[in-house]
A and B are shown apart, each in its own frame.
Chain A
């Protein structure tokens, strides 16, 4: 089984230096990309069916193709890497940032060529201190070697690359919120259209891509789209960094073929449930995805299959809920997170999320009332897609809406008995 993203990483957890990365074949794809036209790079990535690993799953090459390349060749265009990995339960980009920072830099170089961007930013979450240090070193190494800056690889092309370290706020992970944050404003979302590809950072054409997405790009350019598609078990190209947390025997992250089943991830790689605990449900890809149950164990973890099963693959990192943990408590914890992290820009999100969290807290604490379930269901539809400015509140409603169905009896029992029976464990 090929593991292009993590196969070269060192066992001791130290990052690959530039020299080590080059010995493993690194920066050859960037040299190759310099001989290709932007449209050819875009086409290769489109054909590879690389879908955005931040969670939305949009075809990456197609996303790039919306950047206007005609007109003024000197026009400023930006590439921005979303390394603000703050989706609860998600730690896959951290693995890539810490283990092989040059892989990301090379992916950025090639992607910048594909959209003719002269400046690139890495938007990193503040808590990833180890990654910050390693990226800073890698950027310095690349500049010293002439792989970044003016006339990269002695060509006529240039790329200035900067690291921006944020200060902790989930909202910055939203594409347009991130751009506002990078401009030094509150990370409130912008209305779309115009899309960032046309009017992004400082009103210039901008592409925002996830870390894992960009790390795949050098491998596609080096080995071709057909090879990339061959890595996968489904129509989505490549491998995927999956993960698992919660009460499983071996929580962790693993690079596996795209389309690996939930069962394989959970049972073979995470080692199944810890002794004394039984599986209840899982969030397939971070906090803002719908719960799935045991009947979904044979679902392939790719964008379309998980969607068909009634959830989203999201970031592909499973959060497992066991039978001895209160599902209402879990929903309360999730909803409280979203309520705190709401930017407050639009009313449904600002008002609705604390309301939902308050009702859940009441039910969890044995003070729930008969109408509470209906009230939560009402919030579930009034904070849904199309009714809020961005996807934060609908994302928050995904676990809640599915939880209302999946844990219906638990809700009713908490309200009827006016207590939480899990608290006695």
Chain B
């Protein structure tokens, strides 16, 4: 069951579009903001509000890199693995990240704190290599800088 708060927020999003179903990405994001990810049950509830079938809505939900259909950690580390970050030699930095967290791409740390997600170009190529955590972008990464960032987030 969606909370009243979630329902209110979804209705607010719907007002910006001419058809209810057009707000589906925004509605999924509302759920994700509150719960961290979008479960089958939540997806069905959202579909009903928008007048879509669950299959229609899931076809959209699974299309996007940043709608999580599986549980994720408290923070998702979006790691750019595209050309501008790759070309400056990101391997060392990201090997360090995986080793420190004890998680591989797509996995969540044992303490449930972080999920590592490789994503396409973050659009901060002048600061390569870069990652994004929450609303923050961290660029010009070195293993040491990455350590300091993770310490601060703990």
A contact residues vs B (CB 8 Å cutoff): 85-91, 94, 125-130, 162, 164-170, 181-187, 202, 243-247, 251-253, 283, 287, 317, 319-322, 325, 329-330, 333-334, 337, 340-341, 343
Contact = CB atoms under 8 A, between A and B. Distances in A.
Contact of B119 (A94, A129, A168, A202): A168
17 contacts: A86-B120, A88-B120, A89-B121, A125-B123, A127-B78, A166-B25, A167-B29, A167-B64, A183-B19, A184-B60, A202-B19, A245-B87, A245-B126, A245-B128, A246-B87, A322-B87, A329-B86
Interface in B119-134: 119-128, 132
Given A202-B18, A341-B120, A251 B67 contact: no
A88 B88 contact: no
Nearest to B23: A184
Given A184-B19, A202-B18, A167 B65 contact: yes
Given A125-B123, A184-B19, A186-B59, 6 more contacts: A88-B82, A94-B123, A167-B25, A184-B21, A246-B87, A333-B81
B31 to A, nearest CB: 12
Contact of B22 (A88, A166, A184, A187): A184
Nearest to A253: B126
B55 to A, nearest CB: 12
A329 B132 CA distance: 24
A208 to B, nearest CB: 16
Contact of B82 (A128, A246, A287, A321): A287
Contacts of B29: 165, 167
B88 A247 contact: yes
B28 interface: yes
Interface in B69-98: 78, 81-84, 86-89
Interface of B: 16-19, 21-26, 28-29, 50, 52, 59-60, 63-67, 78, 81-84, 86-89, 119-128, 132, 135-137
A90, A127, A317: most-surrounded residue (chain B CB, <10 A): A127
Nearest to A204: B18
A314 B105 CA distance: 31
Nearest to A317: B125
Nearest to B50: A184
Nearest to B67: A167
A337 B22 contact: no
Contact of A86 (B63, B87, B123): B123
A184 B24 contact: yes
Contacts of A170: 120
A185 B60 contact: yes
Given A125-B123, A317-B125, A89 B84 contact: yes
Nearest to B29: A167
Given A162-B16, A337-B83, A168 B22 contact: no
Contacts of A164: 16, 25-26
Contacts of A162: 16-17
Contact of B126 (A87, A128, A252): A252
A183 B20 CA distance: 9
A317 B18 CA distance: 36
Question: Top 4 closest A-B pairs, CB basis?
Answer: A245-B125, A167-B64, A168-B65, A168-B66
A243 B132 contact: no
B22 A251 contact: no
A333 B83 contact: yes
A245 to B, nearest CB: 4
A243 B121 CA distance: 15
A130 B132 CA distance: 12
A348 to B, nearest CB: 20
A169 B65 contact: yes
B87 A319 contact: yes
A287 B125 contact: no
A244 B88 CA distance: 12
A168 B64 contact: yes
Nearest to A89: B84
A244 B24 CA distance: 36
A183 B84 contact: no
A259 to B, nearest CB: 22
